[in-house]
Amino acid sequence: MARHRRPPLTVAPPPELVIFNPDEWPAGEWWQSCELWGRACMAFVKAHPGTELGSALDVLREQHGLYEAHRRSEWEARLNGRAS
């Protein structure tokens, strides 16, 4: 029986690329930090395909999810600010 396996990961991405932390990407605004992180992830993924960061599309999805989560938290903070 043939077993299809992924090749072993040969290159591990730097820890600052695995989880986005705006403090590790200093910029004037939150979204600028996210853009810097996204560009660095994209460059790493293009140079090292098949790592735990996934493909370029996975990076774009993660970045979009971060934007949505940030937007939602800002919206909820404004809602809670008006209610008090």
Question: How many domains are there within the chain?
Answer: 1
32 occurs within a structural domain: no
24 occurs within a structural domain: no
Higher pLDDT, 59 or 2: 59
State pLDDT tens for residues 15-43: 999 999 999 999 999 999 999 999 999 99
30 occurs within a structural domain: no
To the question of pTM greater than 0.85 for the whole model, the response is no
CA distance 61 to 83: 33
Sign, CA torsion 61/36/24/78: negative
Structural domain range at position 77: 49-84
72 occurs within a structural domain: yes
Reported as half-sphere exposure (CB side, CA atoms, 13 A), residue 41 has a value of 26
Q: How far apart are the first and last CA of the chain?
A: 65
